[in-house]
Amino acid sequence: METKVLTQEEITQLKKIQQDKISFIEKFGVLEVQIRELELIRHQLNSNFIELKKTEETLAKSLQQKYGEGSINLEKGEFIGD
């Protein structure tokens, strides 16, 4: 098998490509970690939202039992019956 020597320009180009590939791999890795962190935050927010909806429904039922059908004016703190 014959061995040939690469030119300095070819070596430089190959090293640059190798460095660029490593940089891309690192950036994709960081991006993937950020995506996973955002997915965790999204999951937590979704859980919090579900809990908020449950609390809202429980309070609505309680107020409906206490005051009956109607609406509430929060600014005045008044219940307006139907």
If phi over 0 gives left and psi between -120 and 50 gives alpha, with beta otherwise, what is residue 71? beta
- Residue 1 pLDDT: 87
**pLDDT of 20-69, one tens digit each?**
999 999 999 999 999 999 999 999 999 999 999 999 999 999 999 999 99
Residue 45, domain extent: 8-81
Q: Is residue 72 part of a domain?
A: yes
Q: Is residue 56 part of a domain?
A: yes
Q: Is residue 3 part of a domain?
A: no
Q: Is residue 15 part of a domain?
A: yes
Domain count, the chain: 1
* Cα angle for residues 62, 63, 66 (degrees, 5° grid): 90
Q: Is residue 60 part of a domain?
A: yes
Whole-angstrom Cα distance, residue 82 to residue 3? Answer: 94
pTM: 0.67
Q: Is residue 1 part of a domain?
A: no
